[in-house]
Chains A and B, each alone.
Chain A
Amino acid sequence: SQELEQSPQSLIVQEGKNLTINCTSSKTLYGLYWYKQKYGEGLIFLMMLQKGGEEKSHEKITAKLDEKKQQSSLHITASQPSHAGIYLCGADKGNYGQNFVFGPGTRLSVLP
């Protein structure tokens, strides 16, 4: 079973709409990372959250990590076609090296 769950699996929104993607773990995380992948390409690092309650923004994308450090949300305001892609969360489970896992991804389509 996946150690990180993401919801929804896929999302289709009209351009200009807001949306939220969630990433959930059953265990406390030492770090939560958001990446974006354009179809058939590599991943682009978006942001990293470490502290409970932390919130970061980059352009129209805001990510939050809850106080218990088990859930993160990624919010896009006024979505644009350029936001389309697959959003993956990744988590550091606390041990050096191979204890980093990715979520299954959320596929976002933005209709013009």
Chain B
Amino acid sequence: DVKVTQSSRYLVKRTGEKVFLECVQDMDHENMFWYRQDPGLGLRLIYFSYDVKMKEKGDIPEGYSVSREKKERFSLILESASTNQTSMYLCASSLNLQGPSFYEQYFGPGTRLTVT
């Protein structure tokens, strides 16, 4: 079974802090994704990566950056956390670079981040 793990289930940070959210997958998947999920807005893509050191912006990249130094690990960075970044953050991975399987995504359990 594909396993996607996220470093924390719950996180509380202060405004202005730098926040790192870590995601690790153990199935040698090429693609990795970061989403945020908010009531009424649904799931929105922040960034995705299709290879080590490669990244692409999603729908809402502002205020975030990402890092993928190893194939299995994809980090989401909030350079200076703000209260409007309080959300549920979901990481996902998928196998293929192209074709329909690109979106057959396997998700981690999520990190609920609160910025006070």
Cβ–Cβ contact A50 & B43, under 8 A: no
Residue of A98, A104, A105 with most partner-chain B CB within 10 A: A98
Question: How many A residues have CB within 8 A of the partner chain?
Answer: 23
Chain B 27-42 interface 0/1 with A at a Cβ cutoff of 8 Å (1 = within) = 0000000000000101
Q: How far is the CB of B110 from chain A (nearest CB, A)?
A: 5
Tell me the nearest residue of chain B to A102, going by C-beta. Answer: B43
Is there a chain B Cβ closer than 8 Å to A84's Cβ?
A: no
B110 contact set on A, CB distance < 8 A: 40-42
Cβ–Cβ contact A98 & B103, under 8 A: no
Cβ–Cβ contact B105 & A45, under 8 A: yes
Chain B positions within 8 Å of A, measured between CB atoms, are 4, 40, 42-43, 45, 48, 50, 56-59, 88, 90, 92, 98, 100, 102-110, 112
Nearest first, the 4 closest Cβ-Cβ pairs linking A and B are A42-B107, A102-B43, A43-B107, A42-B109
Additional A-B contact list (18), CB under 8 Å, known A42-B107, A48-B100, A98-B58: A33-B104, A35-B107, A40-B88, A41-B110, A42-B92, A42-B109, A42-B110, A44-B107, A45-B104, A45-B107, A88-B42, A88-B43, A92-B100, A92-B103, A97-B48, A97-B50, A100-B45, A102-B42
